[in-house]
Amino acid sequence: MALILLVLAAFSSLLLGVSDLGYARVLQEIWAQLTGGVSPLSSREAAILWYLRAPRVVLAALVGGALAISGAAFQGVFRNPLADPYLLGAAAGAGLGATIIVVTAPTWSIALPLAAFAGALGGVGLSWALSQSAGRSTATLLLAGVAVASFLTAVQTFVQQANIDTIQRVYSWMLGGLNTTGWREVLLTLPYITVTSVVLWLCARLLDVLAVGDEEAASLGIRPARVRFLVLGAASLATAAAVSVGGLIGFVGIVVPHIVRLLAGASYRVVLPLSLLGGATFLIVADEIARTVLAPAELPIGVITAFTGAPFFLLVLRMNRTR
């Protein structure tokens, strides 16, 4: 069912745009590409479909899936359903990296996602290093993440205030967006998200064991610290890749795993793969809304996910109170 919803969302997003390609002709075009047949579209229409719409749909699926599966993994490691992929400073590091590029090299468009990627990994790495020096508990890692995120955000704010003319571009990036022409961003992130998603899926059984407790996991021959390091490393790498091309899109890593647990249970062997598919579907639909609600203008996709996430948490609180 999750895969069917993803396919339907992707196909509807391919149809969305100023140029009306028609669902029948789009289906014929896809079939022609698969079988080597004759395309029913003109060269201009084919370019719109394959170099504007299709890369955006795939990018939305990659970013949404990466954020959702990373959020589920973080929640498993910290045993906290409110943990999200930005917990260890990935968002703050990416924001600082992007800000520095916008200020110092505004014409280097290719450098912005690379700087955000490096900044996200740097933030997580700094949090991990601080936690290892102060004590190797999960609580220490969480506090280190909060401290690093606060520090990097302060540095970013200082850089912005010293270069006020760049604030609009920085905030536009931070609110999230999937503006892409061609397949460059997809090819940039696909290897990282694919490998890390496979690693997280392979760790699903270990996360189920960790949910019982460290002592029980150790009695079964599992090393909890090593599992946490592997899971957090993979989830942080996936988050960094997603943030580098999509900006700071919030709530995906919290809302989607919650919905999956409500519908399919708490086992990470189910939660992780369904979060990947659900996150992809969620962000494709959110992107469709962002493109149409103020058409021809476009809302930042982070605004749409925030509008979705806030009422969802109110609903969860109400359900817990009712129980």
Residue 88 lies in a domain: yes
Residue 214 lies in a domain: yes
184 has a pLDDT exceeding 80: yes
Residue 227 lies in a domain: yes
Instruction: Give the CATH number of the domain where residue 107 resides.
Output: 1.10.3470.10
pTM exceeds 0.75 for this model = yes
Q: How far apart are CA 271 and CA 162, in angstroms?
A: 44
Residue 224 lies in a domain: yes
As to burial, measured by CB atoms within 10 angstroms (0-12 exposed, 13-18 middle, 19+ buried), residue 221 is: exposed
Query: What domain range is 255 assigned to?
Result: 2-318
Total domains in the chain come to: 1
Which residues have a Cβ under 8 Å from the Cβ of 102 and sit 6 or more positions away? 112, 166, 169, 170, 173
Residue 191 lies in a domain: yes
pLDDT, one tens digit per residue, over 90-143 is 889 988 998 898 888 877 767 888 888 999 999 999 998 888 877 667 778 888
Structure tokens at 159: 């850089």
pLDDT, one tens digit per residue, over 185-237 is 899 899 999 999 999 999 999 999 988 887 887 887 888 888 988 999 999 99
pLDDT, one tens digit per residue, over 37-54 is 888 888 888 888 998 899
Residue 323 lies in a domain: no
Structure tokens at 122: 């740097």
319 has a pLDDT exceeding 80: no
